[in-house]
Amino acid sequence: MNPKLLFFPLLATLLLLCHHAHAVCEPATCGDLTIKYPFWLSGPDLNRSSLAIAACGHPSFELWCSRDGVASLRGSQILVLGIDYTNSSFVAGHKRVADGGDGVCRTDFNISSSLALSPFTISSSNRAICFLYSCNGTEPPEIDGLVNATISNCSKPIYAYLGGSYDRDKPPAIKAGNCTYSYLPVLWPESPVNLTAGTNYSPLFKKGFVLEWQKNGFGDCDACNASGGQCRYNNDSAAAFACLCSDGELRGTICAGSKKTGRRTILIVLTAAAAGLLLPCIYVLIWHGKGKQLRYFLYTKTSSTSERNIEALIISYGSIAPTRYKYSEVTKITSFLNYKLGEGGYGVVFKGRLQDGRLVAVKFLHDSKGNGEEFVNEVMSIGRTSHINIVSLFGFCLEGSKRALLYEYMPNGSLDDYIYSENPKEILGWEKLYGIAIGIARGLEYLHHSCNTRIIHFDIKPQNILLDQDFCPKIADFGLAKLCRTKESKLSMTGARGTIGFIAPEVIYRSFGIVSTKSDVYSYGMMLLEMVGGRKNAKSMVENSSEKYFPDWIYDHFALDDGLQACEVTSEVEQIAKKMTLIGLWCVQVLPMHRPTITQVLDMFERSLDELEMPPKQNFSELLEHPAQEINTESTSSTINTKAAQALSEVLRVEETSLVNSKDPTVTTNYAKR
């Protein structure tokens, strides 16, 4: 074919793409909101190419617009209710409150933590509203202005107190007694408001709160627009801002001096023409083995480009990025790898000390030949987590194939050191184990629902639960974690991941269901049963295949008259052990749709033992020994093992458990007794 015939369609395509890149960044609407720089629209409900809109704004200002016209920050739980571009602020709300669910009944979501590593700050123009809840059946201390704010769809009492200006660093000083305490920002009412009951605190809560960003912190867009340009995000510049001028060139601030001639257009056309003629030559040289020097040059150029992209990506995160260390600095922090803490399949961990005196655990990663940009993105996403039950990431190292993560040091080691010891309950005590179980669930709920990017851990097990000086549990080791948008209910992935004995069935065999946050719930349930039984499940499955599957073993002993005496449970602590066992058995239901969410798990912990019922027993051993073969994704047909199909159908005959909280407080969920 004549190369000239290919040139003109190629040129037309390039010009159309150029025009499209201009058009997609024009101001848009979402409901009643006008979306313009520094905000920009993206998300699964937007029929536009993500590549085309990547330059429209900073990643932190990405908004998703739902089909019903509701905007959210990158599809997170933080909704955008109104934007004031003049004052660089916007009114935000929390999805759990806006949906009318349990948000006004359970205020344990942490707004400040969700925003801690973003460019947004909670404005001092907000007013602080304080809550006391989960009072364990006691009345809160008497405080002037504290009212019982329980509304009709709340199953437990909640008390509210309206304070003064919001200050995240100085919470209002009130006595909490035996209650859990939290405080949140709300809009300062236009007229004086006194809390008298839930009827007026709930609407106040739903109006949202004000968030601010630094004016001109992401470029002087007004000046750019005044010069005839359009504001764009540019991660190649230190300011992460560029002004797109009418001649198609990106300038630093404004378009002054832009030449509105056709010379640049002619240059673009000539360049495209030259590229069109050179491509066939490059193909012949590289793919037919006659251009080794050129191939080496292109590889080196690509590598340096990749390094520049990584550097630009780190710069684009600005102050929200964890500290980056040189490899020489990391080895010095660990006293040249002197104190080894442990080793796993994904790296070696050494104890170290930062210059400010803080102790750290430094994990040097194995098999570090993957995508550096992906590593940075995952580090930044995990670095965004801020929760008492998630181990803190202090910094990272990325130098070619050398990669390391610097975490806070946990002096009491990991949970497995205690539950697999000779007398674990004597060392920690059942009350402490119970508190650890709740703390882990709270950390998982934060990962699943409160982060801007949902994180599925995929390796919840006692070895990955670290304990600080007060035995507060912290989830660690995100080596297997997968990140997904908060709107996604399922996850696409290749290959199984996890640890034998804790990995959910659907992660290995897709026939059991979709991989989702409930895969973590299964691992958590298995760990709960381990905490009760003190028996290594992985060992029992691998070393002795004839021995009962661990949940079967627990289930049978629980149903017998001897209760949990086989697990060395005494009558004094039987209530705690039984509740942990029941919750664990619900979590390890073979089919994901039969398991509770981690939020519902926390609700189960708050219920009394009498309110919980025994989950239906399933044929664990047969289902896991003979799982249905996976459906061939390249074909509409599948072959299923007959015995496996019979085993699976036995489970499917169990009435599908509904684990969705009812708005009617008189209706209980299926894991509670009717």
Output the pLDDT for position 598. 92
Mean pLDDT across the stretch 7-25?
46
Q: What residues does 353 pair with on adjacent strands? A: 359
One-letter identity of residue 408: E
Output the pLDDT for position 577. 84
The CA distance from 406 to 395, in Å, is: 5
Which has more confidence, 384 or 520? 520
Output the pLDDT for position 641. 40
Q: Which of 9-18, 120-129, 460-469, 606-615 has the lowest mean pLDDT?
A: 9-18
Q: Which CATH number fits domain 319-408: 3.40.640.10, 3.30.70.20, 3.30.200.20, 3.40.50.1970?
A: 3.30.200.20
Residue 406 has pLDDT above 70, yes or no: yes
Residue 281 has pLDDT above 70, yes or no: no
Residues of the chain above pLDDT 90, percent: 10
Nearest to 573 by CA among 609, 548, 542, 599: 609
Task: Note the pLDDT tens digit of each residue in 340-369.
Answer: 887 765 678 899 999 888 899 998 876 555
| Lookup: tokens for 156 | 């437990």
Q: Which of 34-38, 124-128, 338-342, 637-641 has the lowest mean pLDDT?
A: 637-641
Q: How confident is the model at residue 332 (pLDDT cuts 50, 70, 90)?
A: very high
Task: Give whichever of 50-54, 133-137, 183-187, 297-301 has the largest mean pLDDT.
Answer: 183-187
The conformation of residue 367, written as its DSSP 8-state character, comes to S
Single pTM value for the model: 0.50
Q: How confident is the model at residue 379 (pLDDT cuts 50, 70, 90)?
A: confident
The conformation of residue 422, written as its DSSP 8-state character, comes to S
The CA distance from 576 to 559, in Å, is: 16
Q: How confident is the model at residue 467 (pLDDT cuts 50, 70, 90)?
A: very high
User: Which contiguous run of DSSP H or E holds residue 359?
Assistant: strand 359-365
| Lookup: tokens for 322 | 């964890």
Output the pLDDT for position 600. 92
Output the pLDDT for position 596. 92
Query: Is the distance from CB of 452 to CB of 76 less than 8 angstroms?
Result: yes
Domain residue limits, the chain: 23-212, 221-251, 319-408, 416-652
Helix (H), strand (E), coil (C) string for 84-115: ECCCCEEEEEEHHHHCCCCCCCCCCCCHHHHC
Cis peptide before 38 (omega within 30 of 0): yes
The CA distance from 1 to 159, in Å, is: 78
Mean pLDDT across the stretch 620-636?
42
The CA distance from 306 to 277, in Å, is: 26
Residue 627 has pLDDT above 50, yes or no: no
Task: Give whichever of 167-176, 268-277, 403-412 has the largest mean pLDDT.
Answer: 403-412
Residue 180 has pLDDT above 90, yes or no: no
Query: Is the distance from CB of 315 to CB of 241 less than 8 angstroms?
Result: no
Give the residue carrying structure tokens 């330059």.
Answer: 55
| Lookup: tokens for 577 | 């052990």
One-letter identity of residue 489: S
363 is in an annotated binding site: yes
Residues 332, 334, 337, 340, Cα dihedral to 10° = 180
Residue 515 has pLDDT above 50, yes or no: yes
Output the pLDDT for position 426. 55
Task: Give whichever of 226-240, 509-523, 628-642 has the largest mean pLDDT.
Answer: 509-523
Output the pLDDT for position 583. 93
Output the pLDDT for position 667. 31
Residue 4 has pLDDT above 50, yes or no: no
Average pLDDT of the chain, as a whole number: 70
Query: Is the distance from CB of 484 to CB of 449 less than 8 angstroms?
Result: no
Output the pLDDT for position 435. 92
Residues of the chain above pLDDT 70, percent: 55
Catalytic site positions: 459
Residue 185 has pLDDT above 70, yes or no: yes
User: Between the CA of residue 638 and those of 154, 252, 632, 645, what are the distances in Å?
Assistant: 47, 57, 6, 12
One-letter identity of residue 465: I
Mean pLDDT across the stretch 249-266?
62
Strands 147-148 and 89-94, by their bridges, are unpaired
H helices of 38-190, where?
A: 95-98, 111-114
Give the residue carrying structure tokens 């239906």.
Answer: 616
Residue 118 has pLDDT above 50, yes or no: yes
Q: How confident is the model at residue 570 (pLDDT cuts 50, 70, 90)?
A: low
CATH of domain 416-652: 1.10.510.10
Q: List the strands of the sheet with 71-73, edge to edge.
A: 40-42, 62-65, 71-73, 78-84, 89-94, 209-212, 121-122
The CA distance from 3 to 326, in Å, is: 49
